[in-house]
Amino acid sequence: MKKMVGILVIGLLVSTQLKAQAQEITWYSFEEVIDKVEATPKMILIDVYTDWCGWCKKMDKETFTDEEVIAYVNENFYAVKLNAEDSKKKFEFRGREYSEEDMARAMRVQSYPNFVIMDAAMENITQLPGYREAKPFVSSLVALLENFKQ
């Protein structure tokens, strides 16, 4: 009997852990997405942020923890976190070396948070600057994908 209870408790802990893991956006580095998009094409959502940006932290705490946002982003995008002030992390993109700071500058990001949307060919489509609450954020992503598919 004790063994059965132990197995049930372990099963419950594992399922709780898996559920908790499924309830967050899967964030990748820019270099990881370069490989992923080649293997399985998908749109890319890049969250360009800085460590000092209060609105960026609010996005992380409120918008990016919303179940609808998590589900929609994970299903339709490769999500990338890009620190616009990190000059140390280096990666190669289209034959050139970039830092995250260099990439943010190349994307012409001038305010934070800023969401750069790239297609599966890794071409910039648009930017969505500024803090967004969950429902308007999902709505803008849905509208963008609908317009892009036309």
Question: What residues contact 86, with CB distance under 8 A and at least 6 apart?
Answer: 99, 100, 101
Give Cα 65 distance to the centre of its chain. Answer: 12
Give Cα 35 distance to the centre of its chain. Answer: 16
Q: What is the pTM of this model?
A: 0.82
Written as tens digits, the pLDDT of the chain (150 aa) is 565 544 554 555 444 444 444 589 999 999 999 999 999 999 999 999 999 999 999 999 999 999 999 999 999 999 999 999 999 989 999 999 999 999 999 999 999 999 999 999 999 999 999 999 999 999 999 999 998 875
User: Within 13 Å, how many C-alpha atoms sit on residue 87's CB side?
Assistant: 1
Torsion sign across C-alpha atoms 30, 61, 63, 133: negative
